[in-house]
Amino acid sequence: MPPVRVRFAPSPTGFFHIGSARTALFNWLYARHTGGVFVLRIEDTDKERNSEQFYNLIYDALTWLGLGWDEGPRVGGAHGPYLQSERAGIYREYLEKLKATGRTYEKDGAIYFRLLGERSEVFDEHRQKTVTKVQAAPTVIDDLIRGRVERVEDEDFVIVRSDGNPVFHFVNVVDDITMQISHVIRGEDHLSNTSKHVELFKALGAPVPQFAHIPLILKQNGPGKMSKRDQGALVEEYQKRGYLPEALVNFLALLGWNPGDDREKLPIAEIIRLFDLPGVNQSNARFDDKKLAHMNMVYLLELPADRFMALAKDYFARHPAVPALQDEAYFREVMLLAQPKLKGLEELPAYTAYFFTEDYPIDEKVKAKVLAKGDPKARLAELIAALPAMDFSSDAAVEEGIKALAAKNNLGFGDYQAVARLAVSGTNVGPSITGMFRVLGRDRVGKRLERFLAAV
């Protein structure tokens, strides 16, 4: 068995699509599972569309997702260069090889690949023109996911444009030969191209790699596959929104693959251990952002405090609309209070805003509701009076304090909780009131309670 060598070959178009991410992931997983090599190759033959930052977009996205490449740009390797724009000499060399077999011819300045078989002129109604059809033998594709697929390639096709630039089908095959790619794992949209590729491999006398065409990701709403313009289609969007890369990777792995049991949250090492190509589904999968959000929450909940802090800081740094943090220790306390309650990092600023300013809004609907029940003003006054004697050193101590006050007045904890929360945070959504009190501190809590009482 030759060593497993897989490749991910994006073109720098300025977007890193969620479908590309999954193709990269499946390649990476297969390489890691088999102990093989994961090659990154950039298909930048269309020079006008490429720019430096577009390349970086690819590197950044892969790095963020944790999909490191063993050979490719930045890391090098024995089969480079890894940018197609730097491989013109190799393409010329292979074009000569192909020409030597007599399987090419020139027409209108372009170079065509010649199929083997009887020829006839046919009017193609779909394209509204006369084309030369070839009665070629079917090409057999042994696909690791789809099984045996037969397809008849019935028209010669261009391999070098009239401007001298080789086209995708040709460079793709030449690169896979020279980079000794053993398994081509790519989207099912390439299945129809594969017969062209197989014929080229054969004509060049090269071994045909194993193919594995993975199902496509369909857009959430409406028909068709997910495209760059669809909501949630870009990896960088999740990065910006503070999604955890390991959550996105886990979610993506489950789109078209499963561990064979009911587990869904799987450590990447476990996914690597279990992943295999025959286990990949054959049918397309619809993208579900709700499920991704849920996966993200599960990961967020289990995140160690230090890692969460780092992510929170990073998120705040990238969203300067929220108050700057002066006191690191205080910031940390606030963040840790919020962590177990969040669905995603992007909720963080709104969820914690009132910890960082005295100018927080009061939710009028909540206010109306809270003030309508019992005698909240009296509760507030009692709480304010009890504050100086209360112990703020821990959540439990605060809880004791409020409970003692409630007991004294023959009331329950809840009689104080609702109105105190409203006064201190302006809303009825948030961390435990005891944690809020502790972190805000006696002075701030006292001022907020008094100010609120005075205003109602």
What is the three-class DSSP state of 339? helix
108 by Cβ neighbours in 10 Å (0-12 / 13-18 / 19+) ranks as exposed
Minimum distance, C-beta of residue 171 to RNA, in the bound complex (Å): 7
Name residues contacting RNA, limited to 385-444 (CB under 7 A).
Answer: 395, 399, 413-414, 417-418, 421, 428-434
Q: Which of 417, 425, 433 is nearest to 337 (CA)?
A: 433
Q: Which residue's entry shows tokens 């057999």?
A: 140
Nearer to RNA, 188 or 246 (CB): 188
Which of the residues 20 through 79 are near RNA (CB under 7 A)?
A: 43, 45-46
Q: Are 285 and 326 in contact (CB under 8 A)?
A: no
Task: Judge whether 228 counts as a catalytic residue.
Answer: yes
- Site residues for RNA, 197-216, by CB under 7 A, read 215-216
Contact 6, 33 (CB under 8 A): no
Report which of 56, 4, 6 is spatially closest to residue 26, judged by C-alpha positions: 6
Per CB under 7 A, 369 contacts RNA: no
Nearest one of 43, 40, 42, 44 to 71, comparing CA atoms? 40
Residue ranges in 152-191 that form contacts with RNA under rule CB under 7 A: 152, 157-158, 161-163, 165, 167-169, 188-191
Q: Which helix (H) or strand (E) holds 395?
A: helix 395-408
For RNA, the binding residue among 83, 95, 149, 386 (CB under 7 A) is: 149
Residue closer to RNA by CB (options 109, 207) is 109
Distance between CA atoms of 75 and 68, rounded to whole angstroms?
10
Pick the closer one to RNA by CB: 36 or 39: 39
301 binds RNA, rule: CB under 7 A: yes
State the nearest-atom distance from the C-beta of 2 to RNA, in Å: 25
For residue 388, give both structure tokens.
Answer: 């100086």
Q: Residues 236-275 vs RNA: string with x where CB under 7 A? A: ------------------xxx-x-x-x-x-----------
Q: Least distance in Å: CB of 281 to RNA? A: 5
Burial of 241 (0-12, 13-18, 19+ CB in 10 A): middle
Report, in Å, the least distance between residue 216 CB and RNA: 5
Q: Which of residues 78-137 bind RNA (CB under 7 A)?
A: 84, 107-110, 125-127
360 lines the binding site for RNA (CB under 7 A)? no
Q: Are 123 and 130 within 8 A, CB to CB? A: yes
Residues near RNA (CB under 7 A), total: 77
Task: Specify the DSSP element, H or E, that contains 270.
Answer: helix 268-274
Catalytic residue chosen out of the listed positions 219, 228, 265, 447: 228
* Active-site residue set: 228
